[in-house]
Structure 1
Amino acid sequence: MSRRWLSLGMLATTAFSASGALLMTAGCEAEAVSPPDPRIVAFATIPPIAEFARSIAGEFAEVETLIPEGQSPHTFAPTPREITRFSQADAYFALAVGHEPALRAKAAAINPHMRVFDVLIGVSLLDGEPHSHGHTHAPDVLEVGDPHAWLDPQRAKQIAANIASGLSEIDPAHAADYRRKLARLHERLDALDADLRERLRPFAGRTILVFHPAYSYFADAYDLRQLPVEVEGKPPTARQLGALASRVRSEGIRVLFYRPQMDERIASTLATQLGVRPVAWNPLAVNYEQELRAATDAITESFESVSP
C-alpha cells in the first residue's frame, strides 16, 4: 500500500474516532441530570385550599392537591403512586375531612419530616371555640364537625394567613414575598365578601335548600338559613320528605343546591318531588371566587322570583 493511501486511512480512522468521541460527549451531555428543583413541594387537602396556597407561594413552591377536584373526600382512594408523591412533600396544609387522616398517616410514616400545618388554626368554628391546634411533624390535625369554613371569605382570610405562616416557617428566605402575596389575596377576599354581602343583604333571614349541609359557614356569613334535605346523613323518609315539601312551598323556595360529587339523578329526582330546580354548588371548587359568585347569582335570582 502506498504511503499516500496509508496516510488517508489513518486520517479517516482518526476522524471517525474523534466523531465517536464527540457523539459520546454529546450523548452524556444530553443525559446529564438536571439540577434539583429549588422550589418547596407543598400539598393541600382540597382544591380551594391549594388555590390559596398557590396564590401565596407563587414561584417559590409547587403546590399540589391531595384530593383532586371532582372527587369526594369520603370516597377518594389514591393510587400507590399518588401516595408516594404525597409523601415527598416538604409541607402539607391539612384539613381533616373524609379519609384524609388515614392518608396523612400513611404519608407521615413514609416521610416523618413532612411539616403538617392545620389550616383551621384561629378560625372561629360554628361548633365550638376558635380552632387552636398547632402545627406538627406528626399526623394529628384536629377533626371538626363541619370543616367548610373557607366558604366564608372572612374565615378564608385566616386560613390563608395560616398558609403564609407555614410557608414562611419552612422557607424564611422568602417570608417577605409570602406576606406581600397574602396581603393581595386578603384584598381579593375582602372585595369578594363586600360584593356578596351587598347582593345578599336584602334577603337576610331567608332559607336556602341544600341536599347536604355543607354551606353553614356561607349561610352564617350572610345571615341566611340552611335547610338540609339529608337527615343525619341519610336521605329523608317519605314522611320527612312530605313535611319538607310543605315547608318549601310555604317559604317560596325555588332552588335545591347539591354537590356535584353526588349522583345528579338523585338530586334531580328530589328536586322534582319538591317542586324546585336543582343547582350544582361545588364547595370544593378550585375556582373559589367564581363558584361563590355563581352560587350567589342562583340564590338572588331565586329570591327575587318570589316574595317571602
Structure 2
Amino acid sequence: MVVQPSCILIKEQIMHRIVLGLLIGILVSLPVAGQAAMRVGVTVAPQVQFVERLAGPLVEVDPLVTPGKEPHNYEPTPRQMQQLAESTLYFAIGMPWEERWLPKIAGATPTLEIVHLDEGLEKIALPEHGHDAEHGHGHEAEEAHGHDHAGDHAKEHAEHHHESGELDPHLWTSPRLVMQMARTMAAALARKDPANAATYQANLDAFLKEVQALDDELTQLFAGKGGRFMVYHPAWGYFARDYGLTQVPIELDGKEPSAKELKNIIDEAKHAKVQLVFVQPQFSMKAAQIITRDIGAEVVPADPLAQDWLANMRAVAAAFKSALR
C-alpha cells in the first residue's frame, strides 16, 4: 500500500501542533526568563522560611534582624534601608522597634507595601518580675492547702504572675499563629503578583499541612503535662499558652533582675527542682549562669530566632519536655 504524500503532510502538521501545544504549556508554567524575583523584607529570620515556603524562587527574602542581633531595640542599617527601597512587600511582625522605624521606612519608600502580620491576632502581655512568694501565692501556702506543685501551681502561676502591660511580640513561637500569618502573607503575595496566585495558594495549602502536623505533634507531646520551664528571656509565651505550659523568665524588657528578684527566682527554681535553664544567644547569660550555679542546673540553648523554624520548634519542644517538673 502506497501512502499518499498528502496524508504524510497532515500527520506532520498534527504532530507539529501537539508538540507546539506542549511547549507552550511548559513555558506558561515557568517564570519568565530573566524576570527578577520579587524582593520581600521581613523582621526576623523565622519569617524567611515562611515566605520561602509560600513563594520559593519567585521571591528574594531579606531579614532585617540578622543572626546574632538582639531584635527588640534593633535599628536598620543604611544598606537594609536601600534593600527595602527596592522591595515590593515588607512583612512586619510587631517588634517594639517597628513602631519607631516603620513610619520612617514608609516615608522613604512610598512604593513599599507594609503588611502588619500581627493585626487581628490575640496577643498576651509579657510577664513582670515578681514571683509567688511576694504576692500571697507562695509555696508554703500552696502546700498548706494540699496543692500539687507540678500541676495546680503552674496554673496559678500563669493566672497570678504579674504582667508588664507590654504585649509579647514573639508571635512566631506559636504554630497556630503562624498558620494565621501564613494566610495573610500568601494573600499579599498573590495581590502583588496575581500571575502566580495559584502557586502561592498551592504552597500555602502545603505549608499549612506542615504546620498543622507540627501543632498536632506538640499537642500530643505535652498532653496532660502542665508544668513550667525557666528561660532567660520570655520569648516562649505563645508556645506555653498553646500547650498548657508556663515560662518562668529571668530577664524582662532587656533588663536583668535586681538582687531581690534574682533571689526570688533562685528560691523558686530550687523549690521546683529546676534542672535546665534555657537561654538564647542574643542576650547576656550572666544572670542565668548565677542561677544555674546556685541551683546546680544546666544552661541549654533555645533560640527563637533560628531560621529553620520547623526543625527548631521540634528541637526546642523536646528540650522543654525534658525540663518539665
**How many matched pairs?**
254
Q: Which residue of 2 aligns with 1:271?
A: 292
Q: Is the 8 Å Cα contact of residues 121 and 159 (structure 1) preserved in structure 2?
A: no
In 2, the alpha carbon distance for the partners of 1:257 and 1:284 equals 14
Q: Which residue of 2 aligns with 1:192?
A: 214
Name the SS for the 1:239 alignment partner: helix
Q: Whose RCO is larger (CA < 8 A, sep 6+)?
A: 2
1:215 aligns with 2:236: yes
2:150 maps to 1:152:
no
Partner of 2:114: 116
2:201 aligned partner: 179
2:46 to 48, 55, 58: 48
* Deviation, structure 1 residue 67: 1.4
Greater Rg over alpha carbons, structure: 1
| One-letter identity of the residue aligned with 2:251 | E
Q: What amino acid sits opposite 1:92 in the alignment?
A: Y
Report the TM-score, using the length of structure 2 for normalisation: 0.72
Q: 1:238 to 1:121 in 2, by over 3 A?
A: closer
- Kindly state the Cα deviation for residue 176 of structure 1 after the two structures are TM-superposed: 1.2
Q: Shift in Å at residue 93 of structure 1? A: 0.7
Equivalent residue for 1:131? none
Between the aligned partners of 1:293 and 1:155, the Cα distance in structure 2 is 16
| Aligned equivalents of 1:99, 1:286: Cα separation in 2 | 20
Distance 2:269 2:67 in 1: 31
Name structure 1 gaps, 5 residues minimum. 1-34, 128-143
Which of 15, 20, 38 is residue 36 of structure 2 equivalent to?
Answer: 38
Is the Cα contact below 8 Å between 2:40 and 2:60 reproduced in 1? Answer: yes
In structure 2, stretches of 5+ residues that fail to align are 1-32, 126-165
Percent identity of paired positions between Structure 1 and Structure 2:
29
Match of 2:124 in 1: 126
Q: Distance in 2 between matches of 1:75 and 1:117?
A: 20
Query: 1:48 offset after TM fit, Å?
Result: 1.0
CA–CA distance in structure 2, aligned partners of residues 162 and 271 of structure 1: 41
Question: Structure 1 246/50 Cα, relative in aligned 2: closer, same or farther at 3 Å?
Answer: same
**1:76 alignment counterpart:** 74
Are positions 1:292 and 2:313 aligned together?
Answer: yes
- How far is 1:244 from its partner? 1.8
- 1:161 aligns with 183
Give the aligned partner of residue 16 of structure 2: none
Is the 8 Å Cα contact of residues 94 and 117 (structure 2) preserved in structure 1?
no
Q: Distance in 1 between matches of 2:249 and 2:197?
A: 42
Picking from 259, 265, 281, the partner of 2:302 is 281
Rounded Cα–Cα distance in structure 2 between residues aligned with 1:165 and 1:93: 12
Amino acid at match of 2:111: H
* Amino acid of the structure 2 residue aligned with 1:97: M
Aligned to 2:65, the other structure's residue is in SS state: coil
TM-score, normalised via structure 1 length:
0.76
Q: Distance in 2 between matches of 1:260 and 1:108?
A: 31
8 Å contact from structure 1 (residues 44, 50) kept in 2: yes
CA root-mean-square deviation: 2.2
Do the aligned residues in 1 keep the contact of 2:40 with 2:89 (CA within 8 Å)? yes
Residue deviations 1:231-258, cap 9 Å, x none? 5653222222222222212222211112
Partners of 1:291 and 1:36 in 2: how far apart? 35
